[in-house]
Amino acid sequence: MYPELGQFTLILSLLLASLLAVVPLVGAITGRDSLQAFARPLAAGMFVFVALAFAVLTHSFLVDDFSVAYVANNSNSLLPWYYKFSAVWGGHEGSLLLWILMLAGWTLAVAVFSRRLPTVMVSQVLSVMGMVSVGFLLFILVTSNPFDRLLPNIPADGADLNPLLQDFGLIVHPPMLYMGYVGFSVAFAFAIAALINGRLDAAWARWSRPWTTVAWSFLSVGIALGSWWAYYELGWGGWWFWDPVENASLLPWLAGTALMHSLAVTEKRGVFKSWTVLLAIVTFALSLLGTFLVRSGVLTSVHAFASDPTRGAFLLGLLAFTIVSSLTLYAFRAPVVHTRVRYGSLSREIFLLLNNVLLVSSMLLVLVGTLYPLVLDYMGGGRLSIGEPFYNTTFSPIAIAVGLLLGAGIFSRWKKTDGGWLGRRLLWPAAISLIVTAVVMLGLGGFTPWAFAGVLTATWVAVATLADLWDKSSSRHGRWHGLRRQSRSYYGMVLGHLGMAMTMAGATVVSNYGVERDVRMSPGETAELGDLRFTFSEVGERQGPNFVAQYGRFDITRDGKLVATLYPEKRQYRVQRNVMTEAGIDAGLTRDLFVALGERVGDNAWAVRIQYKPLIRWLWLGSLFMAFGGFLAIADRRYRIRERSAGKVPADSGKLEGDVVEAVS
Amino acid sequence: MHPIRRKRLTIILFLLAGLAIAVGLTTYALRQNINLFYDPTQIAAGEAPRDARIRAGGMVKQGSVVRSEQDLTVEFQVTDFVSSVTVRYTGILPDLFDEGQGVVALGRLQSDGVFVADQVLAKHDENYMPPEVSDALEKAEAASARVPPMNQ
């Protein structure tokens, strides 16, 4: 009974989404307020019904209703309740429902937090969100219904959740990632609404900015969680594999990073408007592309479920429709925009332009690497794969260039920056970075050009960011006063850039100075890794809720002193009979020690992987810093002050409002 | 030139330069890092190159896995049920590696016909089969179905 109810609420939300896609837009075009007034209630209604459908599916999981095919395929009565909960998005249909729930949530958020926006804008933005929702609700109802029943032959128990996914990382990774993916639909909707209006002004950029930043922050967390999960659950200690599915999440992140920066220029200086709006479209298109790549089964990956081709065709159609229609709109409307603002050839505008060029180039590189094999295969050119070296050789130089420019760009001024002044300003940070890098290189033991470049860039970004903070915070009333006077959005930027430096440092150091050994070991034997001694002391067995685990005990000593004791496991899950590796990790801010049990290779011998991973935590900590910076930036007081001052202006005079707001800043 | 036009020209030149660098790097890196897939039949027929890193895949033949007593070297046969190729690998095999399962191996074909792998990928869950492997199996099945009429 409940599952049918779930399906019914999904159909209802499709109806509401269809109305949302049409009614407010018609109202906005014809100027009828009565129709525009439907926008917010429809958005709220759509969210409520999608949330109900999601609740019903969750309920089916929690009560082990195996008459529902999706539950039977992805759960089991032995599964602990929290994994039953996360199993809701453990397969194709449910993860799609989560996607739609996020979309409805973002739509609702726009409806709630847009009180100060002109009605026309709100109606159009919500209508565009409605259109996207229609596409995905149709997709789920037509091709991937999570409420399909297995009647009358109800299985006695479920096929269980893939053991790889029975992990804390999976509980949080997809929701965060989807929040990011789907969040870019808001920036997209704002861009489309602005194109329909033909009004790409500073006000539009200011409204889009916080939404873009939040979506980007969630996506950063989502990607970091995915990488962390791969590290301890899947990757045998690797943290990024340039797997097409990972790339699918990196693509919108790179485009979104570019978008955030170009939105800043558009808001502050009123330039790059056409470019910014194009980036907003591209970023969301890449989110859709990611969904297509992951969900259509064209890829060989953990995320790719065995699936039928209609799904891929539907998603591809949706993607093509979105891209073609929005670019057509762009082609007709974008040239309307004129810019009279001037800026010098050495200015913050130019630095941010370079940042965009580099980020978009890196995005294109990843895009080519990801799609080339697919396109070639589709055209009958044979199956091939593009290996990690491709990305490492092409992506790393661009990342370094982005970092080097970032350090210089922080000091640059809008409109015009004096070259000599900038050069003198950069002298000290450059000297400090070089010294720090040299010391780090000596400390780590061993110089390689790549490691040097990476560490130098990371240090340079950090030193330049802090030097700028030092400059800005000098005040007659003392340092503390100066520090407190800086805005939250400035601190957001500082944190974001420091986070980037951390991630770069972590990635460089762990790739260049990490040590890894695969050895054959029997209990009682030892293996050396640098000055660390790994002793395989015993093998034992323990029972989990739905698995049996064999574990090894490893005592790690340095100069005879115990550093850590690790218990890596080999788990066999009862239902799917899958064997899973659960690594033993001693995590630390400066290094991780990692032991994983491979397969049993003899009567008493095991294949064992032991690893020393310096600074690996910095990778993910840096991403969290970046995300936190984003959240801090949108908590800036200026958004609220501006909104209040803008609120005094009649709601329909958006153009005027924009000017007033500019005056306030 | 008009200052605005000059600015536009600068921007366009920047974009073109970025694009050129990207294209250059891409083609350079692509040339070295493309790994083509070959099934066991193709390898047995000598179609696979010996000097390039390639991917080979198929099913792990039942009873073919032989482990070394000293280290982590393992040898197994990968088959598409028409031809087989011996794969040698030193290291830890993925959890879902087993006899009778589909695998894809990356490495180089030696002159003695042994495929020395530096990476072995297995499927991630029991319903999932790497598309390359299922293709290779289908092709082999179709080929073996065609064989009997030719013999008659």
Tell me the pLDDT tens digit for each residue of A444-488.
877 888 999 999 999 999 999 999 999 888 888 888 888 888 889
pLDDT category at A337 given cuts 50, 70, 90 is: low
Q: Residue ranges of the domains in chain B? A: 1-33, 35-122
Under an 8 A CB cutoff, do B22 and A301 touch?
no
The domain boundary residue, chosen from A308, A343, A378: A343
**Do A169 and A148 share a structural domain?**
no
Nearest CA to CA, how far is A361 from chain B (Å)? 6
Residue A656 has pLDDT above 60, yes or no: no
Last residue of a domain, one of A316, A343, A370: A343
Cβ atoms of residues A129 and A183 within 8 Å: no
Using the beta-carbon criterion (under 8 Å), do B10 and A519 form an inter-chain contact?
Answer: no
Instruction: Round to whole Å and give the CA distance between A213 and B67.
Output: 53
Answer yes or no: is pLDDT of A665 > 50.
no
Say whether A609 and B3 touch across the interface (CB within 8 A). no
pTM of the prediction?
0.89
A306 contacts B127? CB cut-off 8 A? yes
- Measured at the CA of A395, the angle between CA A392 and CA A398, to 5 degrees, comes to 140
Q: Considering only CA atoms, which of A268, A364, A174 is closest in space to residue A662? A: A268
Residue A168 clears pLDDT 80, i.e. is over it: yes
| Domain end call among A132, A161, A190 | A161
**A299, pLDDT greater than 70:** no
Per-residue pLDDT at A334: 72
Contacts of residue A594 in chain B, CB cutoff 8 Å?
none
* Same domain membership, residue A265 and residue A124: no
The range of the structural domain enclosing residue A235 comes to 162-343
Q: Are residues A554 and A589 in the same domain?
A: yes
Kindly report whether the peptide bond that precedes residue A210 is cis, defined as omega within 30 degrees of 0.
no
Q: What percent of chain B has pLDDT over 90?
A: 11
CA dist A597 and A567 (Å) reads: 9
Name the residue in chain A with its Cα closest to that of B36.
A384
Same domain, A195 and A333: yes
Q: How many Å apart are CA A223 and CA A630, to the nearest integer?
A: 15
Please indicate whether, in this complex, the C-beta atoms of B72 and A520 are within 8 angstroms of each other. Answer: yes
Q: Is the Cβ pair B95, A382 closer than 8 Å?
A: no
A306 touches chain B (CB under 8 A): yes
Give strand ranges (E) for A223-345. none
Segment A186-196 shows an average pLDDT of 94
What's the pLDDT band for A654 if we cut at 50, 70, 90? Answer: very low
Domain shared by A613 and A545, yes or no: yes
Total domains, chain A: 4
Provide Rg for chain B, Cα atoms. Answer: 23
If asked whether residues A304 and A424 sit together in one domain, one would say no
Based on the fold, state whether residues A264 and A318 are members of the same structural domain.
yes
Question: Which A positions 344-363 lie with beta carbon below 8 A of chain B?
Answer: 345, 353-354, 357-358, 360-362
Question: Do A452 and A321 belong to one domain?
Answer: no
Look at residue A265 and give its three-state secondary structure: helix
Residues A90 and A143 in one domain: yes
Q: Do both A40 and A132 map to the same domain?
A: yes
A83-87, A162-166, A426-430, B29-33: range with lowest mean pLDDT:
B29-33
Report the alpha-carbon distance of residue A549 to residue A581 in Å, rounded: 9
Residue A509 shares a structural domain with residue A590: no
Residue A300: its pLDDT value, please? 53
Structure tokens at A632: 């801090």
Inter-chain residue contact A361 with B11, CB threshold 8 Å:
no
Residue bearing the bigger pLDDT, B12 or B64: B64
| Test the A interface: residue of B2, B5, B6, B7 with most A CBs within 10 Å | B7
Q: What is the pLDDT of residues A200-223, one digit of tens each?
A: 888 889 999 999 999 999 999 999
Same domain for A317 and A242, yes or no, is yes
Using a pLDDT cut of 70, give the percent of chain A over it. Answer: 92
Third-level CATH fold of B35-122:
OB fold (Dihydrolipoamide Acetyltransferase, E2P) (2.40.50)
Choosing among B5, B69, B89, B124, which should be mutated to test the A contact, i.e. which has the most A CBs within 10 A? B124
